Chain A
Amino acid sequence: MKYALVTGGSRGIGRAIAIKLAKELEYPVLINYQSNDVAANETKKIIEDLGGSCTLLKFDVANIESTHKTLDTWISDNPDAIIEVVVNNAGITRDGLFMWMKPEDWHNVLNISLHGFYNVTNYLIQKMLTNRYGRIINVVSVSGVKGTPGQVNYSAAKGAMVAATKALAQEVAKRKITVNAVAPGFINTDMTAEMNEKELKRLIPVNRFGEAEEVADLVSFLASKKASYITGEVININGGIYS
């Protein structure tokens, strides 16, 4: 059976992506999450209520041992399974001016987004290569493309993922594995809940924040067979604030 894995899939953009992959592409979905059991179970219920299948995998993507241990266990319980879609969405922000930035805020942000991408994708890619098909989609950010003041750590993590997306895409393209990134701008999620939308939307040509479902639609397309000739791309989804 073919599966899709979404990291950081319990809420926000990750949740919307997991639901979309289950609903539109009919993948049984594996949702990775780190700590929010309630949100993860809510997402699982939403998917199951839609007639889909969802398995929760609780582990910290920044921790390579815990990542491998959880995936090892799941794979040994499901030996015929192939995870053919991987959405690297897990990420956190720890904003602040760079001159005041504490080492833990630098490292934690890079560990989850960038090292999480390595820990999960590196583990799964061998099977994807022998299967000769795959979709890797990295959820980055407008910050990783243009850089955002106050988010040097987040911009660095997402920018590195952009570069990794382009390099990996070229390595594995011959095996029908595409690697792309989506770069959302301001999207209505918990991460942007404290931002002043009224104030900020004046900076956005479309004049509103985006919705997680809109990002999920894009990810779903990239995860589909229709997107076979798109690889190594970073697709902005930001209402026109940057291109």
Chain B
Amino acid sequence: MMETSVIIGKVDEFLIEEFEVEAEDISADANLKETLDLDSLDYVDLVVAIEATFGVKLIGDDFVGIETFRDFYKLIEHKVNNTQAA
């Protein structure tokens, strides 16, 4: 099991680095798409960054219902810990 705080730390790290977002703009309740200024193609970079960082692959359907950073952290936590359990 990977701790939630570790996941959040790693996610924030690559978002700051690769999506050029300011650390202070990231908060659990902030809107992910708006804060990162994501267009549909940018999700490809997100998927690749997650795969490189956590070794799990996301697909388009995984992003359905993801609105805030909190939703996103939960998605990755679920994927990471379920993959590890499997």
Subset of 15 A-B contacts with CB under 8 Å = A126-B44, A126-B47, A126-B48, A129-B41, A129-B44, A129-B45, A130-B44, A130-B45, A130-B48, A171-B40, A171-B41, A172-B41, A174-B39, A174-B41, A175-B41
Count of chain A residues near B, Cβ 8 A: 7
Known interface pairs A129-B45, A172-B41, A174-B41; 12 further A-B residue pairs with C-beta atoms within 8 A, sorted by A's residue number: A126-B44, A126-B47, A126-B48, A129-B41, A129-B44, A130-B44, A130-B45, A130-B48, A171-B40, A171-B41, A174-B39, A175-B41
A-B pairs, top 10 by smallest CB distance, nearest first, are A129-B44, A130-B48, A126-B44, A175-B41, A130-B44, A129-B41, A174-B41, A130-B45, A172-B41, A126-B48
Q: Which residue numbers of B lie inside 8 Å of A, CB to CB? A: 39-41, 44-45, 47-48
Q: Which residue numbers of A lie inside 8 Å of B, CB to CB? A: 126, 129-130, 171-172, 174-175
User: Which residues in B have their C-beta under 8 angstroms from that of A175?
Assistant: 41
Give the Cβ gap from B74 to chain A, nearest Cβ, in Å: 24
Within the assembled complex, what's the spacing in Å between the Cα atoms of A130 and B40? 13
User: Which residues in A have their C-beta under 8 angstroms from that of B48?
Assistant: 126, 130
Give the Cβ gap from B45 to chain A, nearest Cβ, in Å: 6
User: Which residues in A have their C-beta under 8 angstroms from that of B39?
Assistant: 174
Which residue of chain A has its CB nearest to the CB of B48?
A130
